């Protein structure tokens, strides 16, 4: 295997891995605020891609405007989901919550099918231009956008947690919800904001990747499983875990294409998910905190 081939695997692995990392971060955001795993997480990614494609190709919005509008709209939908359903069944059993978020997933997916049909949607890359070359590997400009915007978003999220008072209040909720409530933090508001941010991250990830992979109404569930795998791989509830896990999963997936027919690509990621959950549910970097998460998750 030449250097160029290896570089190419790394490039495509890091690109798709950034998307998984963002989906994983979305899972973490909602989980940290509510102890709920949102099975509709992948639908936010799908909606991001589908809505951006419609806005850009059919309504002819400028790309930047479309991206911002779609991110905010899907973020708003996330907050609406919390308002309309999740906030009303906060104390329901895990199984009821699984079923409700699955119901939301099916509702959004079939809603998208009704609205835009079954065909893959596409819009052109953010900017036109020749691909870059790096040690013989071809890097699409769009892939560069995915990685750079992904890194910027992750840094912004860390800054938000570390510096802003709102972010610190959310972090306090994640660490100890009851304690945060007793300190006068509006926990319900924090949950709503978590849903907003989680859906927003997913939508941006979905929109960014669409020029490279297309967007179809039924891509959400598999993306959700992979984002969850990313999160579990790195250690659930841990931001850095989702990022490292996402990149690892992306790399494993892109390298698997060298050895297996491409039809098995999704299965490789799913097998990683199964192996991680069976062998080390607290993730590769999971410490005491993540084991607590694991106990909550496996109730």
Binding site for another protein (CB under 8 A): 37, 39, 85, 88-89, 92-96, 98-100, 102-111, 113-114, 118, 218, 221-222, 225, 228, 261, 263-264, 266-267, 270-271, 273-274, 277-278, 281, 297-299
Q: Which is nearer to another protein, 48 or 281 (CB)?
A: 281
d(CA 49, CA 34): 26
- DSSP letters, 13-41, are HHHHHHHHHHHHHHHHHHHHHHS---TTH
Length of the chain: 299
Q: In angstroms, give the least distance from the CB of 109 to another protein.
A: 7
Q: In angstroms, give the least distance from the CB of 67 to another protein.
A: 27
Q: Which is nearer to another protein, 22 or 277 (CB)?
A: 277
Q: Which is nearer to another protein, 39 or 126 (CB)?
A: 39
Q: Which is nearer to another protein, 77 or 185 (CB)?
A: 77
CA torsion sign, 254 to 255 to 257 to 258?
A: positive
Q: In angstroms, give the least distance from the CB of 217 to another protein.
A: 9
Q: In angstroms, give the least distance from the CB of 240 to another protein.
A: 21
Q: Which is nearer to another protein, 58 or 110 (CB)?
A: 110
- DSSP letters, the chain, are --HHHHHHHHHHHHHHHHHHHHHHHHHHHHHHHHS---TTHHHHHHHHHHHHHIIIIIS---HHHHHHHHHHHHHHHHHHHHHHTGGGSTTS-HHHHHHHHHHHHHHHHHHHHHHH-SS-B----SS--PPEEETTEEE-HHHHHHHHHHHHHHHHHHHHHHHSHHHHHHHHHHH-HHHHHHTT--HHHHHHHHHHHHHHHHHHHHHHHHHHH-B-TT-HHHHHHHHHHHHHHH-TT-HHHHHHHHHHHHHHHHHHHHHS-GGGHHHHHHHHHHHHHHH-TT-TT--HHHHHHHHHHT-
Q: Which is nearer to another protein, 95 or 182 (CB)?
A: 95
Q: In angstroms, give the least distance from the CB of 125 to another protein.
A: 29
Q: Which is nearer to another protein, 118 or 184 (CB)?
A: 118
Q: In angstroms, give the least distance from the CB of 262 to another protein.
A: 10
With tokens 């999704």, the residue in question is: 266
d(CA 9, CA 20): 16
Q: In angstroms, give the least distance from the CB of 202 to another protein.
A: 17
Q: In angstroms, give the least distance from the CB of 135 to another protein.
A: 33
Q: Which is nearer to another protein, 10 or 21 (CB)?
A: 21
């Amino acid at each position: 295997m030449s250097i160029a081939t290896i570089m190419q695997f790394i490039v495509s692995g890091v690109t798709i891995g950034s998307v998984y990392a963002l989906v994983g971060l979305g899972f973490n955001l909602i989980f940290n605020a509510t102890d709920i795993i949102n099975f509709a997480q992948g639908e936010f990614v799908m909606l991001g891609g589908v809505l951006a494609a419609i806005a850009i190709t059919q309504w002819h919005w400028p790309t930047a405007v479309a991206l911002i509008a779609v991110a905010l709209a899907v973020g708003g939908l996330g907050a609406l989901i919390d308002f309309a359903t999740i906030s009303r069944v906060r104390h329901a059993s895990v199984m009821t919550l699984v079923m409700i978020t699955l119901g939301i997933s099916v509702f959004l997916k079939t809603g998208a099918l009704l609205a835009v049909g079954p065909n893959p949607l596409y819009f052109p890359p953010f900017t036109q231009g020749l691909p870059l070359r790096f040690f013989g590997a071809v890097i699409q400009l769009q892939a560069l956008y995915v990685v750079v915007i992904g890194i910027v978003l992750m840094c912004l999220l860390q800054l938000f947690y570390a510096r802003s008072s709102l972010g610190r209040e959310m972090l306090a909720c994640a660490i100890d919800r009851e304690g945060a409530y007793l300190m006068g933090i509006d926990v319900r508001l924090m949950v709503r904001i978590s849903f907003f941010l989680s859906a927003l991250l997913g939508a941006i990830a979905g929109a960014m990747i669409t020029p490279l992979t297309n967007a179809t109404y039924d891509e959400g569930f598999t993306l959700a499983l992979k984002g969850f795998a990313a999160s579990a791989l790195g250690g659930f509830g841990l931001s850095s875990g989702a990022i490292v896990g996402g990149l690892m999963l992306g790399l494993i997936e892109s390298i698997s294409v060298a050895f297996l027919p491409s039809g098995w690509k999704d299965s490789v990621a799913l097998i990683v998910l199964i192996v991680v959950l069976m062998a080390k549910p607290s993730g590769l970097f999971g410490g005491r905190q993540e084991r607590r998460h694991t106990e909550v998750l496996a109730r």
